[in-house]
């Protein structure tokens, strides 16, 4: 898939097929993050691959899905992610102001994955304390985000938003993600 097509079609995926993602594929996605732009080229981010079934299950129990869907969010056991990537900040390299680097690096992972047919969900609503314990993360590293991954099992679409940014289920059960219109975000003063 070419880059612009990937950017335009990538959507957050929360239903996954159960085919395992090969370890070397997960490593190649992190290689994409490794080469992302970084302020001062400090590269303060580190990653943990979680792809063993038992550990994936433990992380799964400590993340929250699709808050806007509430009760309407359904994910069967055979639609769960098959892997996670935990994104850590190495505080020996940078203690503050790493968030912009993190956004660029994570987006590289999401886009790289999408172009390989792998869906992702960037997850900020996570129990950091518990996940840090499960992954035995030393104090020096701050857990910021986990990315849920799996081969795509749903195909959400975007709609131009009139007013609400709340995503919702469409008539056929597909996830519709409102995006602000182009003319509403290009400003001229």
Ligand X SMILES: Cc1cc2nc3c(=O)[nH]c(=O)nc-3n(C[C@H](O)[C@H](O)[C@H](O)COP(=O)(O)O)c2cc1C
CB nearer to ligand X: give 35 or 159.
159
Options 12, 25, 127, 161; binder of ligand X; rule CB under 6 A: 12
Q: Of 11-19, 76-84, 91-99, 135-143, which part binds ligand X (CB under 6 A)? A: 11-19
Q: Does 11 bind ligand X (CB under 6 A)?
A: yes
DSSP string, the chain: --HHHHHHH------B--PPPPHHHHHHHHHHHHTS--GGG---EEEEEE-SHHHHHHHHTTB---TTTGGG----GGGS-SEEEEEEEETTT-SSS-HHHHHHHHHHHHHHHHHTTEEEEEE-SB-HHHHHHHTT--TTEEEEEEEEEEEB----EEEE-SS----EE-TTS-EEEEE--HHHHS---
Tokens representing 183 are: 């003319």
Options 66, 104, 137, 176; binder of ligand X; rule CB under 6 A: 66
Options 123, 135, 147, 149; binder of ligand X; rule CB under 6 A: 123
Contacting ligand X within 145-174 (CB under 6 A) = 156, 167
CB nearer to ligand X: give 100 or 125.
125
CB nearer to ligand X: give 52 or 180.
180
The site for ligand X, by CB under 6 A, has a size of 14
Q: Of 17-25, 62-70, 85-93, 134-142, which part binds ligand X (CB under 6 A)? A: 62-70
Binding site for ligand X (CB under 6 A): 11-12, 14, 64-66, 121-125, 156, 167, 177
């Amino acid at each position: 898939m070419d880059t612009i097509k990937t950017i335009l079609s990538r959507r957050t995926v929360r239903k996954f097929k159960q085919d395992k993602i090969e370890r070397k594929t997960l490593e190649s996605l992190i290689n994409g993050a490794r080469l992302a732009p970084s302020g001062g080229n400090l590269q303060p981010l580190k990653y943990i691959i979680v792809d063993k079934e038992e550990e994936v299950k433990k992380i799964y129990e400590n993340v929250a899905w699709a808050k806007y869907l509430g009760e309407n969010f359904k994910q069967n056991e055979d639609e769960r992610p098959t892997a996670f990537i935990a994104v850590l900040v190495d505080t020996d390299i940078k203690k503050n102001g790493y968030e912009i680097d993190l956004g660029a690096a994570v987006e590289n992972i999401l886009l790289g994955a999408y172009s390989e047919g792998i869906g992702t969900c960037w997850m900020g609503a996570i129990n950091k304390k518990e996940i840090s314990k499960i992954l035995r993360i030393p104090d020096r590293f701050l857990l910021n985000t986990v990315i849920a991954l799996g081969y795509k099992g749903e195909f959400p679409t975007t709609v131009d938003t009139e007013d609400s940014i709340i995503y919702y289920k469409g008539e056929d059960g597909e996830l519709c993600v409102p995006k602000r219109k182009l003319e509403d975000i290009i400003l001229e003063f």
